[in-house]
Amino acid sequence: MIRAARLLFVVLGLFVAQSAFAVEPDEILPDPNLEARARVISGELRCLVCQNQSIDDSAAPLARDLRLLVRERLKQGDSDSQVMDYLVQRFGEFILLRPRFEWQTLLLWIAPFATLALGAIGAFVAMRRRRAHSGAEEEQRLTDAELAELKQLE
């Protein structure tokens, strides 16, 4: 039993540490400041293969190519926003893990709050109906005289 638990922890540890293995040593820039900027940018870009991971966390070949592209653009002197704009121009808004707040993405930003508000309104209406319905049931209860008459009829 203890061996199985240890094995489970090792396997879970490997899954959790998988993102640490995504960036390969030959990708890392010698300048620590550029590397830090590259990591920040890579953390905000979606892997187009995995789709729910950043390119910094993904081991897919396309993610590696994108990480190298980010580092190349930084070495050329681009700012962080220029690198992001270049990638958005090339791959579209989908590459951003957090889409920009624009007219095209307005629905993405508002939909969760609208859904929450509609759910709250629906719950409020349901509670009001339940209270009104339970009050009507109390009014329709039989009196003692009516119950006695009902027992006589049985």
For the chain, the domain total comes to 2
User: Residue 110 is part of which domain span?
Assistant: 106-153
Total-model pTM = 0.59
Instruction: Tell me the sheet residues that pair with 135.
Output: none
Q: Are residues 53 and 128 in the same domain?
A: no
Beta bridge mates, 46 = 54
Question: Are residue 90 and residue 52 in the same domain, yes or no?
Answer: yes
Q: How many residues does the chain have?
A: 154
Encoded amino acid at 115, one letter: T
Helix axes 32-43, 61-75, angle to 10 degrees: 130
Per-residue pLDDT of the chain (154 residues; tens, 9 = 90+): 777 667 666 656 655 544 445 777 777 888 889 899 999 999 999 998 887 889 988 888 999 999 999 999 999 999 999 999 999 999 988 898 887 777 777 887 888 999 999 999 999 999 998 887 765 555 567 788 888 888 888 7
Strand partners, 96: 45
How far is residue 61's CA from residue 125's CA, in Å, rounded to a whole number?
A: 52
